[in-house]
Amino acid sequence: QVQLVESGGGLVQAGASLRLSCVASGRTFSADLMAWFRQAPGKEREFVAVHRRSDGNTRVVDSVKGRFTISRDNAKNTVYLQMNSLKPDDTGVYYCAAGPKSVSQVVLTTRGYNYWGRGTQVTVSS
């Protein structure tokens, strides 16, 4: 089992920055992938960013490219999401997810992950 705890959400104005953190505990050696998803009210959970520990590769969704950066501190079992130039469309609950090693497109979907945090709310006002 892997336990994930997110923090760092809040209410900010458009243009501001936030840094989300997700601390993993338990069988963290099994979590090659660590990712962030978000879910806006009335919408499905969507992929935001992923970090693959085995080769250090990262990927972010097109809508946040140039604004969001995912990073990982393996020694602290923590993954971060630095969010700059926030927009009202970025509002939602942000979830941390962990999953086994994969190089397929499944890493861009919820099916690629078997552990989830409870989420942290991010609200961006205009």
Q: Which long-range contacts (CB under 8 A, 24 or more apart) does 46-52 make?
A: 47/108, 47/109, 47/110, 48/81, 48/94, 49/81, 50/107, 50/108, 51/79, 52/101, 52/103, 52/107
Residue 29's pLDDT is what?
80
Determine contact, residues 70/80, Cβ cutoff 8 Å. yes
Amino acid at 63: S
Nearest to 37 by CA among 95, 86, 107, 123: 95
pLDDT at 93: 98
Distance CA 25, CA 30 (A): 11
> What's the confidence (pLDDT) of residue 69?
98
Please report the pLDDT score of residue 95 as a whole number: 98
Task: Kindly list the averaged pLDDT for each block of 10 residues, start to end, along the chain of length 126.
Answer: 96 98 91 96 96 94 98 95 98 97 89 97 97
Query: Which pLDDT value is given to residue 102?
Result: 85
